[in-house]
Structure 1
Amino acid sequence: MRKEKLVTSGLFLFFLVVLSLAACDYDWLRFGLPKPISSFEDLQAQTLNKRIPQRKIELSSYAKELGGSLTSPSYRQFAADAQVFVSGQIKAFKKRPNSYLWIQVNSLKPTMKGLPKSFDYYVPLRNGKFQQNIRLFAGIGEYRVIIRIADKQRYIPFASFYVKNVNPKIERDISYSQQVKQDQLKIAAPSSGYTIQDQFFTLAGKSSASNLMVQIHKDANVMRFPITVHKGEFSEQLPLLEGNGIYRIQVLLPDRSKKDGFVNGATLYIENKSKQEKIGIQFTELYKQRGILLSHPIEGYAQTRLTYRIAGKIDPKVSLARKTTHIVVQIDKGGTKATYFLPIRQNRFDGQIGLRFGMGMYDVVVFVPEITTQKNDYFRFYPIARFKVWNQTQKDLRDLMPSRGIESDHPIIKRLASRLTRGKRSDLEKAKAIFSYVAKNIHYDVRKLKNNSYAWDDSALKTLRLRKGVCQDFVFLSIALLRAANLPARFVEGEAGNQQHAWVEVWIAGRWVTMDPTWGSGVLNGQGGFTKKYDEFYFDPVPELIANTHTRKGVIY
């Protein structure tokens, strides 16, 4: 037993040492140490290298004149496991800034169609020294590596060698151009230059440029997508629309020499594993059970500008058809969501949803409401369909477009907003006029609060018609009038008075101004009623004072 334990411990220690050494990557080469065996392919490469004649790499005459030397690799022909570490120096370039080498890796017999036969690395010289891990990108086979010196806008041979890759994996780096030095492009996703995806992929990273352009190539087809860089970062989901196969993805940077022009910044390849040439809509089982039939969209991906049509019908023979009064649509862009309600009339629905968060890809989910007689201050919805839409409009209009319950584009709302703000000299005066109107003319509906008699069609127009409501209704009408007056405004949810509450924030003169038209309208009295009492304090209150009574949770769209 003791022997077995000792042997087991020894094996464990052996594997631990091998794994630790393997994790050191190519440090063994830099320090002149013998390479540890970390995999079967590694062992295979070392075995082959014992049979290959060891002839030293010969530098070009120009490289010798410049005091060039190659510290790794050493031999003109050898075998390797997937990667090769290249390092050396050029003494004459020790004090030359912005100098670099061009290392071209050529696959002599590539095994995979659709991928280039070569890969380029542009390696900077720092104090005349260079080092670069190069990847044998096309899997198993022979490669020729050519190193050239970039000197006065020309490339001069430095050295070359041949290497046999024993690893069958197809692994490419992302190819960066020289332009990335100026715009500091760095792609984080995809993490490598060749990946396998399904219909869509996420492109994310960093750049000092304010905007990028992405070109997606498949055969002779090219699609272009503009990408906005926000605070030095970008992240967008993009479609692979031409079915199964390999796509070339180019990330383009603004051309500093041409207005509205672009130059190549990085190139990568994606294999779409999906065999569908058209991207389909994803449906749940509830789609058929509730008798819903979408007539628009009919495919799972589209490009549009700012708004998108959702239309369809409901089968009247389905048991819950008569009780299904509306369809719910939720958009999601990068985790920021907005919800829209589309009424069903005569078994049909047809409406526009606003892609309010700017340019990019949106996840769109269509829901049906829960059918229940129980009254709540919240609603439950169940998904029936899912698809994606690309918004080509760059403007972010999240605080200006109409939204659920906020019909800021309706003629009645627009006329009222125009009348209330006429003659007001500043945006602050306009906002105050709207606050005053809502607080003075809308009465608090205590019965609605007690009975939880909230409805899916609660809205600014409904509040204006009934002249009463709870906090959300005060907010619906206030925001609708503010947006109709071209003042960006948003719905804030939180707590106040030990219960859920809603109020408004409006963007004026570079800051968010708080206004609570409900509390500005009056107070709940001790007899279970509401006492109307206009209070101007709740328009643009001192932040420290409003924080004593209001706890902000977030924004709803």
Structure 2
Amino acid sequence: MREILLILILPFLLITVPGCSLLNTADPKLDEGAAGNRYSAAAEKNNEKTDLEHVQLSGYSRKVGASLTSPKYKKFSVNSAFIVSGNIKNTKHLKSNYALITVHSEKGGSPDFKYLSPIKGGKYKQKVQLFDGKGTYKVKVSLPSDESKDYYYDLTEMEVTNVNPAVKRDVLYTQNAYKQDLKLDSTVEGYMKRDGKVDLSGSIGDKKAKDLMIEVSKGPQVTKVMVPLENGRFKSSIPLYFGKGVHTLKIMTPAENMANYYNQAAELQVDNTSGHTSQPIEFSKEYSERGYTLESPTVSGGKTDLDYEVKGKINPNAQYAKDTDTVFVQTKKGSLEAMYAIPVENYKFNGKFYLRFGPGSYEVNVFAPEITSANTNVQHFTGVAHFNVENTNPNDGRYRLPSRGIQSDDPEIGRLSEKLMKGKANDKEKALAVYKYVAKNVRYDVQKLNQRSFAFDDSAIKTLHEKKGVCQDFSYLGIALLRAGGMEARMATGYAGQDHAWIETKVDGRWLTMDPTWGSGYLQNNEFIRNFTMKYFDPAPSEFKKTHIKSGIEY
């Protein structure tokens, strides 16, 4: 797995300077709901008892010709939210196009909430949500400097009492959100309650951007999730990794002209009602570059009984997407490794892999094939995702279950295996039936050998359909038929004049050797000559070693 460089750029620098001079007033009253709403009525009642003092505007207001049209008073009560609006006459030299509204909860414990309200035609208007439920808030309105970029001067400050105990929160947007035209769908709110995960969806203006980054935190616990973009759109289910309680999610958009850098654009909070904790899946840089979206699993550290699903899709516009017909999964338990091939159809993949080495924890890597025009017998893969999974099944099925190229669970393989083994008295007779079928029905593919045209989808099924292949393909089909018939079988690799593969199957407590490739015939003048022989079914070990040098086992 390659590490992705993640450097966050602060969205803005704020320096505020207090002011104290007087200017116009505005009415704090806001139609916040139907008549009779008890919280609106409570707010009105509080205001009737309060000596309403007009807001005071700073000296900077005179310099830029600023006035506040709402609210009009320094101290008042509301039902959850109110409107801040104003006018600015001299906007020409302002160094920013946004008014800044800072909301501070007197309860403490929550960071200030900042609104950036766009200034258009000398006007700004912002609904301000008092984010921490019932209580007192300090609300400060600041305007951009007319001299220095990213500096703000205070316009006024007010004390606002929220009479509504409900926690309601807007999405916090930074300047980067406006610059990159980040828009979250209406289903996304600034404060939500969810059970274990939250769905985020929306869009950004850059249709060519490949991904967003979501930072998920709860107290000191922090992780980052990459979310692929497709034509500027995103839709992803984000796990709430750290158990019960409020998680903060920061949405980061890609920095312009700076690869692998992300700027904070939005922030929201999600109260997780689930006490379950989980670990994040690790994604590489190639995950987004190759346009992958992993839909399942969504977290690392899951538990399963023997098999596990992997599901996802590939952006059709991503590099090599049109040439990718297989996604690969590697499982590792200690020094033991196994590979699995998941077919890709219409840019989607959905399959399962097996945890064949018994109970315990496995590392799992999801690989994209490296697409190259060069013919070679060495295949290369690029890691896109990494996670862990625990197998609770007590059985070791390394020689019985399907693996890469060996689809022993395929119905067609199963039917043929049953047909071949029907009526056979013992496992040796069953193994012989498989040996004869493969050696007599599969033709050695000389062209594939010479051109080294090995494919990522080489497999038992492919060999069965095409009735041709090289030693690997003979072995794939033979092992699949044996495993489908309930026998233990494995691929032996080594050297027999060149790199070679053959079959070993368990019979009467021993590993019986058979090489259906050599049993099918021989090569003469670069042509395959069909010449079936029994010589390479259960040969004497001393004789077999004269031509075959074993170097390992492929699981």
TM-score computed with the length of structure 1 as normaliser: 0.49
Comparing both chains, which one has the higher relative contact order based on Cα–Cα distances under 8 Å and sequence gaps of 6 or more? 2
TM-score computed with the length of structure 2 as normaliser: 0.50
